[in-house]
Amino acid sequence: MSHTNLNGDSVGHDEAGQRNTALALGHSSSQVSGSPPASVSEINSNSSASLSPLYSIETLPNKGRCLIASQDISPGALLIREKPLLMAPRDLAPAALETMIQLTLKTLPKHQQRQYLSLQNNFAGNYPFGGIIPTNAYPCGQESGKCAVYPTICLFNHSCRPNCQHAWNDEEGVETVYVIRPVRKGEELCVSYEVSGPSMDRKAMLEEAFAFKCACEACSLEAEEQAASDARHLAIQRLDERISRLHSRPPLGVLWDCRLLLQILRAEYKGYPGTFAARVYWDAFQVTIAHGDLARARIFVERSYKEAVICEGDNTPEVKSVKVLVKDPASDDSFEKSSKDWSTDVDMVPRGLDDDEFEKWLFRLQ
Ligand SMILES: [Zn+2]
């Protein structure tokens, strides 16, 4: 598979400073014909290849080169940590990008030039060098003007129900890929190229942006299952939009929407919604902290933090800032910003409830 997109727009909503931008979704790509290295835990573009115990790079019919799990892997495992092979502005015109890449390539060591040129190029006719960027690049964070290509991370294929999540760590200048759901030995490792909606919509977006027909697990279901999955995706879009207006709606409705969205996400993503869950818990944190409910806000921000750690580790700047709020939710700018109507102390958490009763308390269903 190969794909093209430099727009790292997030799925769902993104209110700068309000949303958890740690929960990065981006774009990526795959299929090269060269021999990029595998990784133990980190690949520096300047280093030589090493073999990872977690995956191997294999060539599959109709898929090209892709990553296959070499063993069973648990959620939260770091698969790859990789420095960019080459970085570029995200919005440069193709002709200017071509010139820039030609000049930049000359400054790289020969083996890195070979790694770069081995990546798939969907625009080779007009842009033999620069075309590799829109075919493969990941944005360096959602709001960054830069994007980058990587020797190994650019090999990941897409799945609408991915088992891995990639993220940019701006502090360290590396892209990481974490496993976000249990993976069996022999399973292909995939990330999502950030598409949303029912399967037909996702397929159309992927074909237009990345020039491939998605045949992932979530796009190859039997008719009845596909209809159920599509209905869930429509509900996800609808709830996501409603939750995005969290500061202009009655808080209880937002909180209940968060709960419903989590249930639907778990159903669609087989119990492992990854960054989606982190975002919804973040939204639930935002709505509870804005009304002074420190007890529930602390639980929500802690859950958001735990989900984010599975997806991108605990050392991105964004995740570290969420950790600060887990320790002191009242330090959030939104604390009591809307009202004190739900005011609680941080330790006013009921004890002795079973899981079901606790969730009802948490989401104010009783
Ligand atoms: Zn799909």
Q: What is the pLDDT of residues 205-251, one digit of tens each?
A: 998 887 788 999 999 999 999 999 999 999 999 999 999 999 899 99
pLDDT at 121: 86
| Per-residue DSSP letter, 105 | H
Q: Which helix (H) or strand (E) holds 168?
A: strand 164-169
Q: Measured in angstroms, how far is the CA atom of residue 267 from the centroid of ligand 1?
A: 16
Q: Measured in angstroms, how far is the CA atom of residue 217 from the centroid of ligand 1?
A: 7
DSSP-assigned beta bridge partners for residue 67: 57
Q: Measured in angstroms, how far is the CA atom of residue 356 from the centroid of ligand 1?
A: 33
64 φ/ψ sector (left φ>0, alpha ψ -120 to 50, else beta): left
pLDDT at 352: 96
Q: Measured in angstroms, how far is the CA atom of residue 219 from the centroid of ligand 1?
A: 4
Q: Measured in angstroms, how far is the CA atom of residue 227 from the centroid of ligand 1?
A: 14
Q: Measured in angstroms, how far is the CA atom of residue 206 from the centroid of ligand 1?
A: 8
- The Cα angle at residue 25 between residues 289 and 177, in degrees rounded to 5: 110
Contact predicate 68/79, CB 8 Å: no
Token pair listed for 125: 């006719």
Q: Measured in angstroms, how far is the CA atom of residue 199 from the centroid of ligand 1?
A: 6
d(CA 247, CA 261) in angstroms, rounded, equals 18
pLDDT at 289: 98
How confident is the chain (366 residues) per 10-residue block, as mean pLDDT? 32 28 30 31 39 87 88 97 95 95 96 92 90 90 91 94 96 97 97 92 90 91 97 98 94 98 97 96 98 98 98 96 98 97 97 96 94
Cα first-last separation, the chain: 49
Q: Measured in angstroms, how far is the CA atom of residue 91 from the centroid of ligand 1?
A: 27
The owner of tokens 């808080």 is 251
- The Cα angle at residue 11 between residues 7 and 17, in degrees rounded to 5: 90
Count of C-beta atoms within a 10 Å radius of residue 63:
15
Q: Measured in angstroms, how far is the CA atom of residue 200 from the centroid of ligand 1?
A: 9
Residue of 195, 318, 311, 218 whose CA lies nearest to 270: 218
Q: Measured in angstroms, how far is the CA atom of residue 349 from the centroid of ligand 1?
A: 41
Q: Measured in angstroms, how far is the CA atom of residue 85 from the centroid of ligand 1?
A: 28
pLDDT at 123: 84
Q: Measured in angstroms, how far is the CA atom of residue 257 from the centroid of ligand 1?
A: 26
Regarding beta strands 190-191 and 138-139, do their DSSP bridges make them parallel or antiparallel, or are they unpaired? unpaired
Contact predicate 276/287, CB 8 Å: no
d(CA 332, CA 323) in angstroms, rounded, equals 12
What SS3 state is found at 128? coil
Q: Measured in angstroms, how far is the CA atom of residue 31 from the centroid of ligand 1?
A: 17
- The Cα angle at residue 167 between residues 363 and 270, in degrees rounded to 5: 50
Q: In the chain, what is the greatest distance between 2 CA atoms, to the nearest angstrom? A: 67
Token pair listed for 263: 């249930």
Residue of 42, 46, 48 whose CA lies nearest to 82: 42
DSSP-assigned beta bridge partners for residue 179: 164
Which strands form 174-179's sheet, in the order they lie side by side?
Answer: 78-82, 174-179, 164-169
Ranges of H-type helices in the chain = 94-107, 110-117, 132-136, 199-210, 223-244, 251-268, 275-290, 294-312, 317-327, 355-362
Q: Measured in angstroms, how far is the CA atom of residue 211 from the centroid of ligand 1?
A: 13
pLDDT at 37: 32
Q: Measured in angstroms, how far is the CA atom of residue 218 from the centroid of ligand 1?
A: 5
Count of residues in the chain? 366
CA dihedral 336, 339, 345, 351 (to 10 degrees): -130
Residue of 16, 11, 26, 2 whose CA lies nearest to 168: 26
Regarding beta strands 174-179 and 157-158, do their DSSP bridges make them parallel or antiparallel, or are they unpaired? unpaired
Contact predicate 79/54, CB 8 Å: yes
Residues 6+ apart with CB under 8 A from 77: 54, 178, 179
